[in-house]
Structure 1
Amino acid sequence: MKPKILFSEQQKFTQWWLWLLLIAPIVIIAYTLIPPTIDVPNPKNSSFHLDPSNDIWISLVIMLLVLLLFLVMRLNTTIDQVAITVRFFPFFKKSWEWSEIQSANVVTYRFVGYGIRISGSYGMVYNVKGNKGLAIRLKNGQKYLVGTQNPEAMQQILNKITT
């Protein structure tokens, strides 16, 4: 029988500035690529004409793939009576049973970056946004930090489990 889920959270990258950084170069390159492929150059017209190379098309495809990756990427955190499970889709899934965990606390931290990072203070960091997260310390000394947008609910569940 599956253990009852006590806490579940799904986070995605929703920062406007991040999407602007991802979409702006695609729009600029597409704007420079599309007119030359549609327009037939007029030999009588001596105006500038861009002939798109394969490199630009390859760059556009790579940028579109990165955009697609950010669209599907998500951080799922689940806490049940048996374990804490973190899935950073499409990269990995990790689970720590309570018997392996020395401590698990919700903390407020300084900026540690987004995505998957290594921090001197928190060990391996999985963060999508914000400055609050679940700091996990395992009995073997490994440390993890998992970002959360719902720290109060997470702390309530941790209090129930650890007492």
Structure 2
Amino acid sequence: MKNTQVIFRERQRFRQFWLWALIIGIAAIFWAGFVYQVVLGGAFGNRPVTDVQLSIMLALIGFGLPFFFYWMSMTTEVQTGMLYVRFKPFHLKPVRIPLHTVRDYEKVTYSPISDYGGWGIRWGAKGKAYSMSGREGVLLHFYNQQPLLVGSQRAKELFRAIEQAKVSG
């Protein structure tokens, strides 16, 4: 993101308790299997894999899965005339949204599951969405493409920043 005046910046991470409970629960199964089979010498499951295979699965799922979800983040930045959204690690560079292409925008409360099928980078009947957690965001309406929802924990501030950046840009 360029070194110009930043009007608004927000970095979000997955914060849902149920999601972290699920991820840690899945990782814990692999930790328990590793300890039982490799450390204690038992056979984990009806058809146990080799110790090497279990070690690889522990590295990928026991360590890798929680780290991957911890590392994921969404950064939203508003600068004069431009909105940037980066969903790390899926975007190598931020998605640039020139605000002159935005016809209208509104602060919305939405249902992530029923409107877009969940959180993340989502496509649905209502358009595209970038969201990490929560139920609020700013819905952008364009002249020549489907709407885009940008989820935010600070939706009022994001709305005001877009308003300010659009006027000054």
TM-score range, shorter chain: 0.7 to 0.9
Mapped to 2, the partners of 1:119 and 1:38 lie a distance apart of: 47
Cα 1:38–1:56, aligned 2, differ >3 Å: closer, same or farther?
closer
Q: Does 1:125 align with 2:129?
A: yes
Task: Tell me which residue corresponds to 1:68.
Answer: 67
Instruction: Give the conservation status (yes or no) of the 8 Å contact 1:87–1:94.
Output: yes
Task: Tell me which residue corresponds to 1:46.
Answer: none
Task: Tell me which residue corresponds to 1:77.
Answer: 76
Task: Tell me which residue corresponds to 1:86.
Answer: 85
Cα 1:99–1:156, aligned 2, differ >3 Å: closer, same or farther?
closer
Mapped to 2, the partners of 1:38 and 1:129 lie a distance apart of: 38
Please list, as runs of the form range in 1=range in 2, the aligned pairs for 1:17-32 lying within 5 A after superposition. Answer: 17-32=18-33
Task: Tell me which residue corresponds to 2:141.
Answer: 137
Runs of 4+ in 1 over 4 A off after TM superposition: none
Gaps of 5+ in 1: 41-48
Q: Which amino acid counterpart does residue 15 of structure 1 have in structure 2? A: Q
Secondary structure of the 1:149 match is coil
Q: Which amino acid counterpart does residue 151 of structure 2 have in structure 1? A: G
**Aligned counterpart in structure 2 of residue 146 of structure 1, from 141, 147, 150:** 150
Instruction: Give the conservation status (yes or no) of the 8 Å contact 1:3–1:82.
Output: no
Greater fraction helix: 2
Deviations 1:112-161 (A, max 9, x none): 3111111211x111111111112112222232111100012122223334
Gaps of 5+ in 2: none
Deviations 1:12-33 (A, max 9, x none): 0111211110011211221122
Instruction: Give the conservation status (yes or no) of the 8 Å contact 1:137–1:143.
Output: yes
Mapped to 1, the partners of 2:165 and 2:124 lie a distance apart of: 27
Secondary structure of the 1:95 match is strand
Q: Alignment identity in percent?
A: 25
Instruction: Give the number of aligned pairs.
Output: 154
Mapped to 2, the partners of 1:2 and 1:24 lie a distance apart of: 41
